Amino acid sequence: MSTKKKIILGVVVVAILGVLGGYGYILFIKEDAPEELTTTDLDAALDATTTVAATAAPAASEAPADSTATADTATADTAAPATEAPAADAGDPSGTWNISTDSVLGYRVSEVLGGVDTEGAGRTSQVTGSLTIDGTQATAAEFTVDMASITSDSDRRDGQFRDRIMSTADFPTSTFVLTAPIDFGGVPAEGESITATATGDLTLRGVTNTVTFELTAKLENGRIGVLGSIPVAFSDYQIPDPSNGFAEVKDNGLLEFVLVFDRA
């Protein structure tokens, strides 16, 4: 065999091994990314039993700072103190609600790994925030996510995400703040899902843009659940191209979430 043919054969073998390596990674090493969040995930989160500060006493019923009552005295005869706020009407969601640890938020991107189309997704439950309801409207809402806590099925992807892509050491959190009331048109019945449009300011990697997106809300088990996703163009937030020598990532993705709120 001539030297030229050997060189050509070598190039072909390397190319084949590269393709097989990509398929091998997808088929035998890479775990499947979690499916896109749906109403099934929303229902499961609403059925969970975790709550935020469920047993905290209302601040209004606390003893004044200069009270001389002892702890025993303070707890005596307080089974139903007259100063406690009455229990909220189960059919009226008005009031302030806090995000529960049953919530989940993350990203989803389309990838090409070794020539194979696939998806990458990362998630976290390290989300805090609140929601204020007045009748049939959400008048205020905000959430903050700990970006370094987002993990996927790949340590390599997570390292790139935290360092080069999202620079979590410099921008440890991302936030959303509602800037216009959400009108749900009515108070949903127990277990009924309703859809609405939300507008607010989304901040990623220190850059803020106004976003508008649809969401699904549900009142069930004394909790409010919200499902939604926000399209994100990386260039709009000065996010570096996530692609590298092995992975080619499209220039946009989704921020998806299921947020569960318990009464404050």
Q: According to the model, what pLDDT value does residue 31 have?
A: 54
| In contact, 203 and 157? CB cutoff 8 Å | no
Q: Which of 122, 118, 179 is nearest to 145 (CA)?
A: 122
pLDDT at 224 > cutoff 90: yes
Polymer length of the chain: 264
Mean pLDDT (the chain, rounded): 80
> pTM for this one?
0.73
Q: 262: which residues sit within 8 A by CB, 6+ positions away?
A: 51, 52, 53, 54, 97, 98, 100, 222, 223
pLDDT at 8 > cutoff 60: no
pLDDT at 130 > cutoff 50: yes
Q: According to the model, what pLDDT value does residue 30 have?
A: 47
Q: Which fold has domain 32-51+91-263?
A: Lipocalin (2.40.128)
At residue 167, the 3 state secondary structure works out as coil
Task: Measure the CA angle with vertex 166, ends 44 and 249; round to 5°.
Answer: 80
Calculate what percentage of the chain has a pLDDT beyond 90: 58
Lowest mean pLDDT among 1-10, 116-125, 157-166: 1-10
